[in-house]
Amino acid sequence: MEIVLLGSTGSIGTQTLDVCRMHNIRVKALSANSSIDILEKQAREFCPEYIAVSDEKYYGEIKSLLSDTSIKILCGEEAVCELAQLKCDRVVNAVVGFAGLLPTLAALKAKNSVALANKETLVAGGELVMKTLKENDTSLLLIDSEHSAIFQCLMGAGDNKLSKIILTASGGPFFGKSRDELKNVTKAQALSHPNWKMGAKITIDSATMMNKGLELIEAVRYFDVSPEQVEIVIHRQSIVHSAVEFEDGAIIAQLGTADMRIPIQLALTYPKRLPCPAKKLSLAEVGTLTFEKPDEEVFNCLKAAKKAIKMGGNAPCIINCANEAAVSLFLNDKIGFLDIGSAVEDALSNVKFIKDPSLEEILETKRAAENYVYSKFKQGDI
């Protein structure tokens, strides 16, 4: 088996390479945005034919670091799309944020099978992505642990219809807090997730619960259900990764330790299950599993995401891109924690709604949502 890995230096990228190492999966190409030192090490270990750096300012550096190799080095966003079109068994898209959309579309148009860790792809351009998937008769497997869980719960379901998806959420570091208590939380507090070790953007999204809002939209698009059919449940232990309810009331859940290598590996080896380096789950050690309702008044990103998916059109793209801009401002100490939620809600009410957006209109919506957030907080582009 041979893969192309986009976003190789991030949390999902490095764990994907753990799986490749264990099962001798060949890596044809790697791409990264920055972290040039990690990219160089990965290139020396996995000897890909191609490397792309999306940020052109690192091109000279990586080219000279790897000048003793025969690896072809490319740069720019277009180069990442070129790698996505290389003939391979699977393209793993672990790019962070909206930047993952065009490579996903490029891979599908080249009839490549895609393992997608980039949920923003299905939020910002979900209808377009699913249409492109069908037109090109290829496959799309999700790496997000919840969506992998739902997919696993449906394996063997045949024609039986699910009546409900139960999407579990850890609740993040601020579960149970009031809005007052969240006013002055720091970046360090928001970055310390109780169960999962992840990149900065998704960790902040977990703290605001925007992550669960994005995952709700991802589930609606991918599993073709209505927003009302997805119930979000807080499950602090992150053991039940999600569940589905069938028409007879039976609920099937997928359980495991909080280790992304399990869903990553399944997305690479599906339909085969192979040994995985992740720790095995002991239910007796876990002891208790708890489930509670989320508080949408405190975590208003969740409320905005629900509203956006019901509106449809470019509304999910608006909240996704407003959130990306707000999270980058928060990570750069320009705005407070609660400003993220208000940026998302206000952008949804103020950025122009488009019912059936083309790709160009999705790209325009991204710029409009970002500009709205930057001007709301009187900040320049970060």
- C-beta of 11 vs 145, nearer to Mg ion: 145
- Interatomic CA distance for residues 261 and 274, integer angstroms: 11
Residues that bind Mg ion (CB under 5 A): 144-146
Residue closer to Mg ion (CB basis): 145 or 342? 145
CA distances from 283 to 20, 149, 222, 336 (A): 29, 17, 30, 39
Shortest distance, position 217 Cβ to Mg ion, whole Å: 12
d(CA 28, CA 46): 9
Quick one: 3 or 142, whose CB is closer to Mg ion? 142
* Helices and strands in the chain: count of H runs, count of E runs: 18, 11
Nearest approach in angstroms of CB 145 to Mg ion is 5
- Cβ atoms 92, 115 nearer than 8 A: yes
Distance CA 65, CA 241 (A): 41
d(CA 148, CA 119): 12
Which residue's Cβ lies closest to Mg ion? Answer: 144
Pair 122, 218: CB distance under 8 Å: yes
From the CB of 19, what's the least distance to Mg ion, in Å? 17
Q: Which is nearer to Mg ion, 103 or 263 (CB)?
A: 263
- Whole-number minimum distance, CB 215 to Mg ion, in Å? 5
3-state SS, residue 56: helix
- What b/e readout covers 329-366, taking b as 16+ CB neighbours within 10 angstroms? bbbeebbbbbbbbbbbbbbbeebeebeebeeebbbbbb
Is the CB of 82 or the CB of 259 nearer to Mg ion? Answer: 259
Q: Which is nearer to Mg ion, 276 or 351 (CB)?
A: 276
Q: Which is nearer to Mg ion, 76 or 194 (CB)?
A: 194
**Min. distance of Cβ 259 from Mg ion in angstroms?**
13
Do 247 and 163 form a contact (C-beta atoms < 8 A)? yes
- Please report how close the Cβ of residue 111 comes to Mg ion at its closest, in angstroms: 27
CB of 43 to Mg ion, least distance (A): 29
